[in-house]
């Protein structure tokens, strides 16, 4: 937790954090006051877990933004813990943590208080990390789905990773696909129950409507390259180089695994607009790509390269791509200096 706290403080200096919920964050905050009050409409009612946790922990309403921040800390800390468990050195474990912590995976959580991305990223990370344990992995995936249905885009990659780690026998495949399908049941039952009481705006009918898809494809798809880049900036080098190494060494199973994560991640752009924020869901590709590169390089070479890449990555100015265009994430010192001279 100490490592995670230090990293989050650094993130809050690199970009200017905000603490007042808006847009979806405001809807989650309102839902946390009474998650099962069906008298008032709420477009994100299906994504019940974070607001329920806020309600149960009394971090409701204006205090709800603390819940995603706690999970951001848990995510960063758990990445470090998992790589230490893999017997990576403390330095390399911090570097792997930085691949995610020093990206929009965490940055957007800090500038969009109340958004719950860090919550389902945490559960997605654990579902991959504990993939050797069928039931635990499926349980974490279930919690990710109850946080946000877009977690479903990671199912092909998660299943292929389970086969990659545990073997590709027919029995193993059937066990894992059955477990992950069962993990969908609580979400489906909850959505069915909610639909008996109230209509929810953010439903399949909205996302897959002709109007929505037409806007996403015509207006947002051209911004995909920029949105994809700014999700992780130079850290994309790792999965790209891992694909090259795997192709060269005929590791086609790993290529399929990595491509499934990347492609399924990109498919979100067909139905939604916050490109950079959405594409952060593909963060497992960054970690798995870096693991593959590390396995082929000497310890010293990987450490030196990653430290240098991380330093250079900070020099690349951070932007996010969404339906309103391209927005900068300004460093905290810059924001204070500008505010001082402008009186804001």
pLDDT in tens, 202-234: 888 888 888 888 888 888 888 999 999 999 999
> Which range, of 98-112, 217-231, 232-246, averages the lowest pLDDT?
217-231
- Global pTM reads 0.95
pLDDT in tens, 124-155: 999 999 999 999 999 999 999 999 999 999 99
- Token couple for 60: 């409701």
Per the CB < 8 A criterion, the answer to whether 114 and 24 are in contact is yes
- pLDDT for position 216: 85
- Token couple for 41: 């409409």
- Enumerate the H helices of the chain as residue ranges: 2-14, 24-33, 48-56, 66-85, 90-101, 104-111, 117-129, 134-147, 155-166, 170-195, 204-207, 210-215, 224-232, 237-248, 252-266, 275-279, 283-296, 299-315, 332-342
Number of domains composing the chain: 1
pLDDT in tens, 147-174: 999 999 999 999 999 999 998 888 999 9
Q: How confident is the model at residue 324 (pLDDT cuts 50, 70, 90)?
A: confident
Domain that holds residue 299: 2-342
- pLDDT for position 344: 62
């Amino acid at each position: 937790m100490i490592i995670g706290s230090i990293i989050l403080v650094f993130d809050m200096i690199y970009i200017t954090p905000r603490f007042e919920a808006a847009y979806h964050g405001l809807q989650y905050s309102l839902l946390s006051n009474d998650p099962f009050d069906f008298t008032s409409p709420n477009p994100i009612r299906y994504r019940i877990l974070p607001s329920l946790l806020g309600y149960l922990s009394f971090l409701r309403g204006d205090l709800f933004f603390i819940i995603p921040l706690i999970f951001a800390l848990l995510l960063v800390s758990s990445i470090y813990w998992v790589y230490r468990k893999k017997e990576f050195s403390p330095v390399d474990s911090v570097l792997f943590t930085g691949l995610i912590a020093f990206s929009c995976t965490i940055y957007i959580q800090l500038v969009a208080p109340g958004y719950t991305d860090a919550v389902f990223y945490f559960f997605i990370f654990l579902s991959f990390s504990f993939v050797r344990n069928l039931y635990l992995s499926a349980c974490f995936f279930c919690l990710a789905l109850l946080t946000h249905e877009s977690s479903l885009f990671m199912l092909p990659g998660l299943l292929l990773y389970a086969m990659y780690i545990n073997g590709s026998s027919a029995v193993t495949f059937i066990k894992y696909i059955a477990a992950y399908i069962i993990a969908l049941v609580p979400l489906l039952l909850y959505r069915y129950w909610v639909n008996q009481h109230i209509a929810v705006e953010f439903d399949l009918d909205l996302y897959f409507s002709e109007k929505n898809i037409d806007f996403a494809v015509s207006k947002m798809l051209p911004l995909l390259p920029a949105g994809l880049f700014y999700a992780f900036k130079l850290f994309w080098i790792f999965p790209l180089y891992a694909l090259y190494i795997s192709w060269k060494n005929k590791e086609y199973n790993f290529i399929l695994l990595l491509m499934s994560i990347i492609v399924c991640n990109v498919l979100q752009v067909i139905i939604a607009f916050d490109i950079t924020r959405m594409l952060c869901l593909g963060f497992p590709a960054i970690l798995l790509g870096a693991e593959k590169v590390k396995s082929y390089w000497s310890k010293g070479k990987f450490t030196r390269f990653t430290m240098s890449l991380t330093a250079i990555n900070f020099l690349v100015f951070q932007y996010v791509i969404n339906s309103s265009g391209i927005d900068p994430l300004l460093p905290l010192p810059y924001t204070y200096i500008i505010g001082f001279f402008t009186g804001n």
